[in-house]
Amino acid sequence: MALTKTYVEGIREFSTSVGNLVVNVQELRGRLTSISNDAYKRIVTAGKQDVGKTKGTRVSMIVNSLRGEKPVLLKQERFPIRLARELVEANSKGEYFSTNSARAYETASRRAEQEDRKGIKPAQRTAIICPSQDNFLMSPDENKQYYEFVFEDMAYENEENGRVSYFQLNKGPITFFPIDKGIVDSVKGTIQNYMWFKSLGLGCGSGLVGDYRGAHLCYDRARGMLNRSAEGASQKISATQLKTELPYTQRQINRELKRISRLEAEIQKNRAFFESLRQ
């Protein structure tokens, strides 16, 4: 598969990968778009380009489900390639991927509870426990904290530059679709699934789908991250956003810094040697 580039006026190009989830993760180096970032693209291009109007996208968020528990939404800086492979394999058989252990769910729910206790604002949190095991609506007035968690700085209009909110673009609440309770309760361990951000559609509005078993489908797509412009969203770029924009992983950066440190030490050693010769 080959990446396609799309130019949006006022911001840089962003990439779209078409293929199964493994192809998406590999081609985009794990940097699948966040929901807020894709909402921004949709708002900026509304009526101009087909970004999210008729085709949805895979996003960098995971839903964790466990028997008898409410689902937990977990934002990802980079979508894990290991999980992508597990999802493609399971979905190709018409199944959901299960870890056969409660550990993944417990880790995600513990993070959500800790962030809640610390009073971190919903838009800045990385994990949140859903209000129930059923479908629920998100809007500025209904399940507000979940709406803010998902859409971050795209949750509300920006009066200074005339930008609308995603709620306004969608013309109504956004529905979250979890995995059916009966299926979750019949499976041992944590069910992990990727999230699909539905298109705006033909007047029917978009939704956030956590029960889709289409990771193996090669005609679905994922969009990559991009920087926000002065014409659009807030000028503040979070540490998480900045990290996802870097062309290298943190491990690669650390490895390079260590290499530079070794070279500097070698230079100092040689300098000391030549100074001793002069004496």
Domain ranges of the chain: 4-240, 248-279
Of the two residues 274 and 35, the one the predictor is more confident about is 35
Q: Quick check: 30 pLDDT over 60? A: yes
At 59, the pLDDT band (50, 70, 90 cuts) reads very high
In the predicted model, what is the mean pLDDT of residues 27-35? 93
At 60, the pLDDT band (50, 70, 90 cuts) reads very high
Question: Quick one: pLDDT at residue 124?
Answer: 96
Q: Quick check: 112 pLDDT over 70? A: yes
Q: What is the pLDDT of residues 180-202, one digit of tens each?
A: 999 999 998 999 999 999 998 76
At 277, the pLDDT band (50, 70, 90 cuts) reads low
DSSP string, the chain: ---EEE--TTS--EEEEES-HHHHHHHTTT-BPPHHHHHHHHHHHTTTS-SSSS--EEEEEEEEE-TTS--EEEE-SS--HHHHHHHHHHHTTT--EE-SSSHHHHHHHHHHHHHHHTT--GGG-SEEE-S-SS-EEESSSSSHHHHHHHHGGGSS-BTTTTBPPHHHHHTS-EEEEPPPHHHHHTSSS-EEEEEEE---TTTT--EEESS---TT-SS-EEEBP----TTSS-S---HHHHHHHSSS-HHHHHHHHHHHHHHHHHHHHHHHHHHHHH-
Question: Quick one: pLDDT at residue 44?
Answer: 84
What is the distance between the alpha carbons of residues 34 and 195, in angstroms, rounded to a whole number? 10
Q: Quick check: 276 pLDDT over 80? A: no
Q: What is the pLDDT of residues 73-101, one digit of tens each?
A: 999 999 999 999 999 999 999 999 999 99
Q: What is the pLDDT of residues 144-168, one digit of tens each?
A: 999 999 999 999 888 777 788 999 9
At 256, the pLDDT band (50, 70, 90 cuts) reads low
Task: Tell me the average pLDDT of the chain.
Answer: 84
Question: Quick one: pLDDT at residue 236?
Answer: 36
